[in-house]
Homo-oligomer: A and B are copies of this chain.
Amino acid sequence: MTTRFPRIGDVALAAGVSTATVSRVLSAPDRVSANTRVLVLKAIEETGYRVNHAARNLRRRQAGGIVVLVPNLANPFFSQILSGITFAMATSGHNVLIADTRKGPNAEHRILDYLHNNRADGLIVLDANLPEDVLSAGDTPNYHPPIVFACEWLDADPRPTVTIDNEAGARLAIRHLADLGHVRIGHLMGPSDNILTITRARGARAALAELGLPIRDDWFLDGDFSLASGAAAARAWLALDDRPTAVFCASDAMACGFIGELHHKGVRVPDEVSVVGFDDIEIAAHFVPSLTTVAQPRVLIGETAARKLLALIAQGRERESATDASEVLPVQLVARESSAPPR
């Protein structure tokens, strides 16, 4: 507390140059001669100088950070995506703020705060099911920083997205079960208004149709991606008169909840019913039984979204505008113990 932080002026003094030169060494080193550059760097070292980001951001008219909107931080599926994002952002010097859109009081208010209060230079949205007005580009468009959607997206929205091929993923799952010999295949879905739910269910239906297998509405169970909803679906499955011999779940969490609850009720997987998940979260390989699932390149999704956002931010500064909107990354089926031929 006794000594102040060194300012850029202190460095300039120590190096015998102007503050402008010090600043250039920091943000445009090639605009400074090699000699003075080492001089300044030595002075920075000696004084222990650190840039004051508030001052830099003020002058540069930027926020210095981006915000990631996550529907549920507790879901381990997202953490690897975040990993990819922070990795890509670290090199650009942007802070990464993570906001859980569902948890905590007045979550919606917090998000609007991020959106409008120029706290962020850009947004990565992993939750497309936000209240209408929150993401509507219509009102006061100049107040909105650039947005990239990842994983989820809004259907007729022109903004860039980074997604996986959900229909293809669902097809992989259904075909895998069919290949094992299943002909009675059900699907445990996510929340009905969710784009992932829609596309995965569409893929599942399409695959069933192609294979000439029955598509029965009572075999399409409702869930919300959570463990608890998987358990609830297990009870619904047990209550069916005429049960499918295999269930494709739209998330690994639901698959785990489903299997866990069945186990409680004395039903064995895959002996009595095969289960396939979606996401390949870390525990999938360690579950009992280990979970057959559709794997997503999560780190890559995060990295790609981050890079896209950085490009948009840079564009905004140069007042250009042209980004090829969407990127669709591949998925992969990982076969494990939870799926087997029907009895």
Contacts and interface: CB of A to CB of B under 8 A. Distances in A.
A22 interface: no
Nearest to A104: B87
Contact of A83 (B52, B73, B87, B142): B73
Contact of A58 (B58, B63, B282): B58
Nearest to A56: B54
B283 A256 contact: yes
A251 to B, nearest CB: 13
A82 interface: yes
A83 B58 contact: no
Interface stretch (A113-121, A129-137, A179-187): A113-121
A33 interface: no
A96 B67 CA distance: 10
A53 B48 contact: no
Contacts of A51: 117
Nearest to A119: B53
A154 interface: no
Interface stretch (A194-202, A239-247, A284-292): A284-292
A254 to B, nearest CB: 10
A309 to B, nearest CB: 17
A28 interface: no
Given A5-B143, A54-B63, 6 more contacts: A1-B319, A48-B140, A55-B58, A76-B76, A87-B104, A287-B287
Interface of A: 1-3, 5, 48, 50-55, 57-58, 62-65, 73-76, 79-80, 82-83, 86-87, 90, 95-100, 103-105, 110, 116-119, 140, 142-143, 227, 230-231, 256-257, 259-261, 263-264, 282-283, 285-290, 316, 319
Question: Which 3 residue pairs across A and B have the least CB separation, nearest first?
Answer: A260-B286, A54-B57, A54-B58
27 contacts: A1-B142, A2-B142, A5-B118, A50-B117, A52-B118, A53-B63, A53-B118, A53-B119, A54-B57, A54-B58, A54-B62, A55-B58, A58-B58, A65-B95, A74-B79, A75-B76, A83-B103, A86-B100, A90-B104, A96-B97, A227-B282, A227-B283, A256-B283, A256-B286, A261-B286, A283-B283, A287-B288
